[in-house]
Amino acid sequence: MSTGTESEVEPELTQPASGTDEAELEALLGDRAIAREEHLNAPGFVINPNDVQAVLSDLRDEAGYDHLSCVTAQQYEDRYESIYHLKKFADPTDELSIVVPTTTENPVSQSAEPVFRTADWHEREAYDLIGVEYEGHPDLRRILLPETWQGHPLSKDYDQEKPQLVTLTEHQNPIQPDHREADSDTMFLNIGPHHPATHGVLHVETVLDGETVADVEPDIGYLHRCEEQMCQSGTYRHQIMPYPDRWDYVSAGLLNEWAYARAIEDLADVEVPEYAQVIRTMGAELCRIASHMLALGTFALDVYGEFTATFMYTFRDREVIQDLLEDLTGQRMMFNYFRVGGVAWDLPEPREEFFAQARDFLDELPAKVAEYHDLITGNEIFQTRCIDTGVLEPDVAKSYGCTGPVVRGSGVDYDLRRDDPYGYYDQLDWDVITRDGCDNYARVLCRMEEVEESAKIIEQCLDLLEEWPEDERDVQANVPRTLKPDADTEIYRAVEGAKGELGIYIRSDGTDKPGRFKIRSPCFSNLQALAEMSEGEYIPDLIASLGSLDIVLGEVDR
């Protein structure tokens, strides 16, 4: 529960959440914790804006909260607030929210960037959209909106109705500067926003010293579609679910839908029928395979050139999954299949045909994966290109909040499906894949092996679904027509998307629409690590590293 204004806070009132030794935390924070809050997912401590760095570094070093999952900023009637959602890579269920309120008149808070590098972009986004300023931030500029934008769209005093035109002339012309400094011998190169290797509209500002990359800075926001704001103006029950499909739009739709479904189901206390959970698990893993296939194919494009056979091979195999998903959901891309409390409908009739198709796919998959290993990972040239390039050390990956195959390719054993179980995952037999290579090759292998693990999950789901008694096939729970969670209930819930930890933060305001809806995109955090991975390497390695991060700009920019 939120504490309202700071003066009303009574720290002793809160109940201890499971998994966290609150007494120890209180002792660690001491006087710096000026109040307590309770979020549904985690205990919260309110701290002063000047203590952010000290508190976060203590929590990281002493208490082991080494994963800054997300930074949510929001404006109340009387204050601004930044919430740092902390987790442990070793145990993501052990969560902690650090709430930093600032006054409306002077919304300045200390930056967390020196402690967690991932805070860099997250705080820039908070500044851009909400208007909280972060003292000591190395580069507090707008990130999603053009730099000439007026006002902060998610703040209270912003006029949503008034259109703004940002002309190219007042916008900084990215083509202009040839050199960052007049007398330097480096070359400034714009890779993107229209470039074959940026996988969408990404603009990478690159400084080259010959063929060597001296400096890299991704410039994002070209695909910003105000997804958070749109979700805030939709009702929980039906109007939000279609949006997640549009974040990571390359066939990972069901995984995204699950992120919202999980958050709202925990917020509104909805129990999902087991049968629906099995269908969800199967659908989500189909999406994961499709997404990893695409990642593999486009990575091959980056390393091979545009005429490679691998790309078409992966698309051929992905097409089979697309057909299955189309049969299941009625759509190829924007599935909108999950509902609050279940899924839209049962498996397509005749069920035997669907099962047969799905099993055919699973039967053929091992041969196809073997073919990919022959074609791609077994190729010596591919190995010389990918091994020891784009190196991302585990500590750096953690500091940047990288998740998914990116962090697992760096040897960090972190998978929310196992560590923070949801759906039907904890009752199935499968493994989390990790690789110690930390390089582009490790990330590719990681995805390829995850495809096989997903196939194992799907196979078990199919067995379960086939034998499920006919009269127990409930696809939806009984959910009220209008959902109105209690006012000021806060929750942050994440699922393992195709790219990593996809989290949703919701604060309810007592109405049937969220008061604040924040999306934690895995690609957004992963992309930040690009500079670390590619500086000092050659342009081809920069391109390969970008490909190995497997970003989707729809999810980065939201």
Partner 1 sequence: MNAATTTPLQSDVLLPERLGDLTGLNEFGLAGELLSTLIGAVIVGSLILAMTAVAGPWAKRKITASFTDRISINQIGPAGIGIIIADAVRMLSKENIIPENADRPAYDLAPIVIVGSALLGFAVIPMGSGIQLADPEVGLAFAFAVAGIASIGLVMAGYSSGNKYSLLGGLRAVAQNVAYEIPLVVTGMSVVLFAGSLQMSTIVEAQAEPLVDLGVVAIPQWYALVNPFAFVLFLIANFAEVGRNPFDMPEAPAELVAGYQTEYSSVYFVLVYLGEFLHIFLGGAIISTIFLGGPAGPGPAALGIVWFTLKIWGVFFLTQWLRSAVPRVRIDQLIEIGWKGLLVLSFANLGLTAAIVGVIA
Q: Which residues bind partner 1 (CB under 8 A)?
A: 187, 189, 195-197, 211, 300-309, 311-313, 316, 375, 379, 381-382, 384-385, 538-541, 543
CB of 397 to partner 1, least distance (A): 24
* Segments in 330-433 forming alpha helices (H): 351-372, 380-386, 394-399, 405-408, 416-419
CB of 530 to partner 1, least distance (A): 15
SS3 assignment, position 51: helix
Euclidean distance between CA atoms 513 and 463, whole angstroms? 39
CB of 321 to partner 1, least distance (A): 16
Q: Which is nearer to partner 1, 199 or 288 (CB)?
A: 199
Q: Which is nearer to partner 1, 260 or 382 (CB)?
A: 382
CB of 426 to partner 1, least distance (A): 39
Euclidean distance between CA atoms 555 and 538, whole angstroms? 27
Closest CA to 421 of 262, 254, 276, 271: 262
CB of 312 to partner 1, least distance (A): 4
Q: Which is nearer to partner 1, 196 or 510 (CB)?
A: 196
CB of 173 to partner 1, least distance (A): 14
Q: Which is nearer to partner 1, 111 or 298 (CB)?
A: 298
CB of 319 to partner 1, least distance (A): 11
Q: Which is nearer to partner 1, 312 or 370 (CB)?
A: 312
Q: Which is nearer to partner 1, 185 or 470 (CB)?
A: 185
Tokens 């699973």 -> residue: 362
Q: Which is nearer to partner 1, 425 or 441 (CB)?
A: 441
Judge residue 119's burial from the number of C-beta atoms within 10 Å of its C-beta, 0-12 exposed, 13-18 middle, 19 or more buried. Answer: buried
DSSP string, 417-445: HHHS--TTGGGS-------S--SHHHHHH
The 10 Å CB-count burial string (b at 16+, else e) for 495-531 is bbbbbbbbbbbbbbbeebbbbbbbbbbbbbbbbbbbb
Phi-psi region at 191: left, alpha or beta (left = phi > 0; alpha = psi -120 to 50): beta
Q: Which is nearer to partner 1, 75 or 310 (CB)?
A: 310
Backbone phi and psi for residue 538, each to the nearest 5 degrees, phi listed first: -90, 165
- What's the token pair of residue 45? 């401590």
Give 376's DSSP letter: I
Q: Which is nearer to partner 1, 22 or 388 (CB)?
A: 388
Would you give the distance in Å from CA 116 to the centre of its chain? Answer: 17
Euclidean distance between CA atoms 439 and 460, whole angstroms? 32
* Segments in 400-502 forming alpha helices (H): 405-408, 416-419, 440-467
CB of 310 to partner 1, least distance (A): 8
Q: Which is nearer to partner 1, 248 or 541 (CB)?
A: 541
Euclidean distance between CA atoms 194 and 68, whole angstroms? 32
Q: What are the angstrom distances between the C-alpha of 227 and each of 7, 354, 520, 550?
A: 34, 34, 12, 21
SS3 assignment, position 43: strand
